[in-house]
Amino acid sequence: MTDFISVKQFNDSEGVEDWRVLGDGACAYFRTGSFAAGARLVKAISEVPGVDDHHPDVDVRHDGVTVRMLTLTDDYCGMSRRDVEAARQISAAARELGLDADPSAVQSLLVIPGAPVRAEVMPFWQAVLGYEPRRDSPDQDLVDPRNRGTSFWFEQMNEPRADGGGAIHVAIWVPYEQAEARVAAALAAGGRMVRDEFAPAWWTLADASGNEADIATSMGRD
């Protein structure tokens, strides 16, 4: 049986200091300095016990490797004890290769279309994106079946926004310690605060034309 845990329980676990829980799982970024070093880390990850049964998503670039751990079942999407153990072993494999993690370098993006009736708009987006419903929330979320593209969550709207914002906006998930600096930078770049009553879970900002973006963290969501 899968041992589901909260975000706080994951964060409080020993040996996961390299990792930050974002909207789509626990993420770590390891600076490698070269593609070849990144490939060696991927090989080491492939040798972690149990990786075929509970595998991470791995993104390799010329200067670093991003790894994501997530437990997804037919009725659950979040953290589990298996993610904790895998995160520990992946961090250990990186250390053996002399690679350091940079928690400030992780983030994820979520696109949020809004609609009074989700079912009226989701088929359109599923068709144009080639996405599929997420297993635990098929009436709300669409995901890339190959876990490459940005996920879509469809917000239930009772009526169009009175403040003039569009019906679609984005959420940028960042580590909690990076959030206030990201908000400040957006405001300094000409943005305005729309809603901050849900901080530190998220701040909603808008550009000069009313296009909105959430700066989101995992804090306060347990």
To which residue do tokens 């400030």 refer?
A: 104
Strands 100-101 and 25-31: antiparallel
**Domain residue limits, the chain:** 4-105, 108-216
119's CB contacts (< 8 A; 6+ apart) are 139
Rounded CA-CA distance 86/53 in Å is: 11
Task: State the pLDDT at residue 196.
Answer: 96
Q: What is the CATH number of domain 4-105?
A: 3.30.1360.20
Q: Does residue 164 register a pLDDT over 80?
A: no
pLDDT band for position 163 (cuts 50, 70, 90): low
The answer to whether the pTM exceeds 0.95 is no
For 47-105, write each residue's pLDDT tens digit. Answer: 999 999 999 999 999 999 999 999 999 999 999 999 999 999 999 999 999 999 999 99
Q: Could you tell me what percent of the chain has a pLDDT over 90?
A: 87
Q: Does the domain formed by 108-216 have CATH 3.10.180.10?
A: yes
Token pair, residue 152, equals 């879509």
Report the distance separating Cα 198 and Cα 216, nearest Å.
10
pLDDT at 19 over 60: yes
Segment 143-157 shows an average pLDDT of: 93
Sign of the Cα pseudo-torsion (203, 209, 210, 212, in order): negative
